[in-house]
Amino acid sequence: MSQNLAKTGLNKNLLILHFTVFVWGFTGILGQLISISAINLVWYRVFIASFSLFLYFKFNKTTLKLSLQTILKLALTGALVGGHWVLFFASIKFSNVPVTLVCLSSVTLFTAIFEPLINKKAISKLEIVAGLFIIIGIILIFKFETKYTKGIITGLISAVLASLFSIINGRHVQKIEAPVIAFYELSGAFIWITIYLFITVGTAGFIIPKASDIGYLVILGTVCTSLAYVAGVSVMRELSAFRVALITNLEPVYGIIMAFLFFNNTSDMSIGFWAGAVIILSTIFLFPVAQKQVAKRRSR
C-alpha cells in the first residue's frame, strides 16, 4: 500500500515537472519576442513574479515569516537565479532559441559534478558518463556553429548557475514551503539586479517596455516564472537535483519545436548542430533505462 502511494506521488511529481519544463521551453520564445535587453527583461520578470506571489500570499493569508539568516540565504540564492536568467536571455539574443536551449542541457553534467560535492555523497559514474555524452553533443554544436560562440559561452555559464541553485533548492525545500522559497529567491533576484543596474548605468538603465512587450512580460512573470518556479521547486522534495536536471533537458525539445512553429529559425542550423542535439537528447531518454539496468544488476 505504502509502495503504491509512493509510486503515485513520484508519478505526480514527474508529471508536474514535465509540465513545468514545457512552460520553461516557452520562455525562450518570449525572450526572442520581447525587444528590451536581457537584463531589463529579467528585471521586469522577477518584479512581476515577486509581486504576483506576494498577492497570492495576501489572498491566502499565508505567513512569510522566516529567520533573518534563512531569508538572507534565500536572497543570495536569488542572485544565482537572476544571473542564470540574465545569461539565458543574453544567449538567446547573441544566438537563437535552439542553440541556447541545447547549451542549457549541460546542466546535467554540472549537476552530476556539483551535487555530490555540495551534498557530500559519492559521485555516480553513470551520471558522469551521461554528462560527458552531453558535453560531446555541445562540442559538436560549438564546432559547427562558430558564429554563435558568444551565445554558446553565455548559455553554458547560465547552465552552471542553474545547476547550483537547483542543488541548493533541493536542500531548502526539505524545510521550507516551495512558494515561500520562490518568493524570497525571486525577490532577492530583483534586489540584486536593481543594485547592479544602479551601480553600472544609474537610472538610465531602467527602460520602460514598449506596449507590445507588456503582455509578453506579464505572461513571462506570472505563468512562466512564479507558477513554474514554485512547481519546479516543490517536486524536489521527492526528486533528486540530477533527476530534475535530466528531465529539464527536455526543454530543448519543447523549445526547438516551438521555435520552429513561431519563427522557423531552425532552418539555418547545420548538420553539426543536429548531430549534437541528437546525442544530447538521446542521452536524456536513455539514461533512465541504463539506471534501471544498473539497479537490477546490483540487486542480484
Question: pLDDT for 159-212, tens place per residue?
Answer: 999 999 988 988 888 888 888 898 999 999 999 999 988 888 777 667 888 888
9-26 pLDDT, tens digit each: 567 788 888 888 888 778
pLDDT at 70: 93
Angle between helical axes of 271-299 and 251-262 (0-180°, round to 10): 150
The secondary structure of residue 122, as a DSSP letter, is P
- Best-predicted range by mean pLDDT among 52-56, 232-236, 237-241, 256-260? 52-56
pLDDT at 5: 47
Q: Are 217 and 43 in contact (CB under 8 A)?
A: no
d(CA 96, CA 20): 21
- pLDDT higher for 231 or 90? 90
Q: Are 22 and 254 in contact (CB under 8 A)?
A: yes
Expressed in percent and rounded to 5, the helix, strand and coil fractions of the chain are 85, 0, 15
Mean pLDDT of the chain: 81
Can you say how many angstroms the Cα of residue 285 is from the centroid of all Cα atoms in its chain?
18
Q: Are 277 and 134 in contact (CB under 8 A)?
A: no
Domain ranges of the chain: 31-299
Least confident of 5-9, 121-125, 143-147, 247-251: 5-9
- Average pLDDT estimate for 69-85: 93
* Nearest C-alpha neighbor of 127 from the set 273, 253, 294: 294
CA-based end-to-end distance of the chain:
25
